[in-house]
Amino acid sequence: MAHVMAEKQKNIELRKESNKGRRFSKKALIYLLLVIYGLVNAYPMFWMFLNSFKSNIDFAKNPFGLPVQWLFDNYKTAWETAKLGTYFFNSVIVSVAAVAVTIFAGAIASYFLARFAFKWGKMVYAFFVFGMLIPIHATLVPMFLLMKSLGLLNTHLGLILPYIAFNLPITIFILVSFMKSFPRDIEESAIMDGCGVFRIFFSIILPMTRPALATVIILNFINNWNEFSFALVLINDDSLKTLPLGLANFAGQFTTNYGAQMAGLTMAVIPVIIIYLLLEDYLVKGMTAGAVKG
Amino acid sequence: MHLLNRYKWPALIGIAPALVIYLLFAIVPIILSFYYSVMDWDGFTKMKFVGLANFKEALDDPVFWGALKNNLLVVAASVFGQVPLALFFALLINRKLKFGKVFRTLGFMPVVISTVIISLVWGMMYNSRRGLFNQLLEGIGLGDWAQNWLGDPKWAMFSVCVTIIWQFIGLYLIIFLAALQNIPEEIYEAAKIDGASGLKRTLYITLPMMRNTIMVAVILCISGSLRTFDLIYVMTTGGPGHTTEVLAMYMFDQTFSSTRYGYGSTLSLFIFFFSLALVYLSTLILRKRGD
């Protein structure tokens, strides 16, 4: 009897052991797949970064390894001869101005759409949200003609205005759904005390909306910073080009100088990657807001 | 409610700035394109009314149809490439791994980076002489397989699609991860007690519960991939020989290289209605299958 029991115990232990082994190898496989996935995602940027320090000869001879000699000159070339500084400055101006107006106009509009039940409120909201469906490219040609007749071609303003218009829908969508979640009696007591609606907005609603505001600010900024097609159509003057447009241009001129090209791209991508790593959660929330809510 | 009527004016003032900018610079352009679409105009001489001639010209142009086909190809590559891969990796990352967050961060990174930068870097990776892919193939002794990835009509569209798929898997990965985290733990516990294996739990619990999210992702993927323009413009400008031309690229070429604003507006309208129709259609089909 005791013998049989011992045998059984041993069997169970053996099975546990093999289960453990199977689980371990399964886990290893999962990690392997994920590491490959991670590498495939990160490697192009890493490749660009590494090669931005190489001379052309070094790049041709040794495409995968570390640079034989770290050439920081590539960065100087890209910044100075390619006017990356100018493009950078233009991108900052256009992005910041567009974000500021979008957030301000969007927040105040969202406040009225979310907190007051007007007859036409729902319609106006639906009209704004419809904007998320408009394919930007369908407006490139008429936008060019519109800006031409307004005399806004080749101006910062001519770029800022469409950026605001096309970021308002998602901004209002996110802010309205956030502001709707506040309890109703918040403003009621304030109104009883004789507080004006705009004061309620600035001193009560806006501070409460801070997390959603952070999301839309970052989302807007990244959208504007990366935008290419409007800039391509509306800006022709080299001194007004934004970073994506300037980079596309500069790559055309520097087809032979790989190092400088990659140095320019690295400089353009670093601010975005830093913002992303620091504020990932906000950015992820913003970019998936449209999808998760349906 | 008593609040409504008293605050009509403040509300109007509050909504007006956003509404005016939105109307003027998002809606008016679309209305304008209706007007210009029946005109022939080079921007300098007088505009000439031509009726529906522009529409006929587009429908008669084989390049237009080729561009439309490529648009659909990009949509198909995105839907069948991005969504399944994203779902697969989301299921892996969701297993409460130690470094799960790192893979999420890496996975989403390409979505955040400017398409222009991605196109330029991938363009260099595809370069026939010094590109990463050909050097990699040579390095492992498969030098014969090296291709002129973007210059060869046979490979150009394939290469472009690979980059497009790569760029946006992360977006759907994040969406799926968010949905996976919303599935209550108890359901899995119950299934475990009933003896359902890991694969069975995925097939019969996770995936059915994700159905709505998957449908939303597919629709998003369709409307997103219809917007492909920057990438094609930077990587190939539609070449070689129109093999990677998409509608937006064709429109850009026709409008700004040949300065034909009327014809360009007609093409804008085609893009607008084509996108709306495809998104609407996919919503209908997916909804029906859901019922």
The answer to whether residue A152 sits within a structural domain is yes
A38 and A161 part of one domain: no
A102 and A234 part of one domain: yes
The radius of gyration computed from the CA coordinates of chain B, to the nearest angstrom, equals 24
The ipTM of this complex is: 0.89
The answer to whether residue A162 sits within a structural domain is yes
Residues on chain B touching A198 (C-beta within 8 angstroms)? 10, 14
Rounded CA gap, B236 and B119, in Å?
A: 9
Q: How confident is the model at residue B238 (pLDDT cuts 50, 70, 90)?
A: confident
* pLDDT above 90: residue B86: yes
Chain A CB within 8 Å of residue B168 CB: no
A102 and A204 part of one domain: yes
Residues on chain B touching A284 (C-beta within 8 angstroms)? 108, 174
A125 and A247 part of one domain: yes
| CB distance B58 to B37 below 8 Å | no
Which residue of B28, B120, B256 is in closest CB contact with A251? B120
List the CATH number of the domain containing A277. 1.10.3720.10
Which residue segment(s) compose the domain that A99 sits in? 73-292
A39 and A93 part of one domain: no
| CB distance B246 to B230 below 8 Å | no
Among residues A107, A136, A95, the alpha carbon closest in space to that of B26 is found at A136
Q: Taking the model in full, what pTM does it have? A: 0.88
What pLDDT was estimated at residue A183?
Answer: 86
Instruction: Find, in chain B, the residue whose alpha carbon is nearest to that of A142.
Output: B29
Per-residue HEC secondary structure of chain A comes to CHHHHHHHHHHHHHHHHHHHHHHHHHHHHHHHHHHHHHHHHHHHHHHHHHHCCCCHHHHHHCCCCCCCCCCCHHHHHHHHHCCHHHHHHHHHHHHHHHHHHHHHHHHHHHHHHHHCCCCCHHHHHHHHHHHHHCCHHHHHHHHHHHHHHHCCCCCHHHHHHHHHHHHHHHHHHHHHHHHCCCCCHHHHHHHHCCCCHHHHHHHHHHHHCHHHHHHHHHHHHHHHHHCCHHHHHHCCCHHHCCHHHHHHHHHHHCCCCHHHHHHHHHHHHHHHHHHHHHCHHHHHHHHHHHHHCC
A193 and A279 part of one domain: yes
Tokens representing A128 are: 């704004």
Look at A108-117, A174-183, A252-261, B220-229 and tell me which has the smallest mean pLDDT.
A252-261
Chain A CB within 8 Å of residue B233 CB: yes
Judge if the upstream peptide bond of residue B240 is cis by omega within 30 degrees of 0: yes
Residues 62 through 121 of chain B touching chain A, CB cutoff 8 Å? 89, 92-93, 95, 97, 99, 102-103, 105-118, 120-121
B30·A142 Cβ contact <8 A: yes
The answer to whether residue A109 sits within a structural domain is yes
A150 and A96 part of one domain: yes
DSSP-assigned beta bridge partners for residue B40: B48
pLDDT tens digit sequence for B95-114: 877 888 899 999 999 999 99
Q: What percent of chain B has pLDDT over 90?
A: 51
| CB distance A57 to A69 below 8 Å | no
A86 and A167 part of one domain: yes
The answer to whether residue A89 sits within a structural domain is yes
Closest CA–CA distance from residue B186 to any residue of chain A (Å):
22
Residues on chain B touching A168 (C-beta within 8 angstroms)? 18, 21-22, 26
A154 and A17 part of one domain: no
What separation in angstroms does the CA of A151 have from each of A127, A157, B54? 28, 10, 27
| CB distance A264 to A78 below 8 Å | yes
What pLDDT was estimated at residue B1?
Answer: 43
Q: How confident is the model at residue A293 (pLDDT cuts 50, 70, 90)?
A: very low
pLDDT tens digit sequence for A116-170: 887 888 999 999 999 988 888 889 999 999 999 999 999 999 999 999 999 999 9
Closest CA–CA distance from residue B163 to any residue of chain A (Å):
11
Rounded CA gap, B154 and B65, in Å?
A: 18
Closest CA–CA distance from residue A12 to any residue of chain B (Å):
18
The answer to whether residue A50 sits within a structural domain is no
| CB distance B107 to A40 below 8 Å | no
Angle between helices B115-126 and A243-253 (to 10 degrees): 20
Instruction: Find, in chain A, the residue whose alpha carbon is nearest to that of B237.
Output: A248
A161 and A28 part of one domain: no
Q: How confident is the model at residue B223 (pLDDT cuts 50, 70, 90)?
A: confident
Residue A148: partners with Cβ closer than 8 Å, 6 or more residues away: B43
Total of domains in chain A:
2
The answer to whether residue A55 sits within a structural domain is no
Which residue of B1, B115, B251 is in closest CB contact with A117? B1
Mutate to test the interface with A, among B41, B42, B92, B120 (most CBs of A within 10 A): B120
The answer to whether residue A63 sits within a structural domain is no
Rounded CA gap, A261 and A269, in Å?
A: 12
Chain A CB within 8 Å of residue B137 CB: no
A146 and A288 part of one domain: yes
**What are the structural domains of chain B?**
56-290 (1.10.3720.10)
- Phi and psi based region of residue B195 (left: phi greater than 0; alpha: psi -120 to 50; beta: remaining): left
Length of chain A: 294
Q: Which residue is listed with tokens 């980076």?
A: B113
The answer to whether residue A205 sits within a structural domain is yes
A151 and A240 part of one domain: yes
What pLDDT was estimated at residue B89?
Answer: 94
Question: Any idea what the Cα angle at residue A223 is, between residues B245 and B78, rounded to 5°?
Answer: 40
Chain A CB within 8 Å of residue B229 CB: yes
What is the widest separation between alpha-carbon atoms in chain B?
Answer: 79
What pLDDT was estimated at residue A94?
Answer: 97
Closest CA–CA distance from residue B115 to any residue of chain A (Å):
7
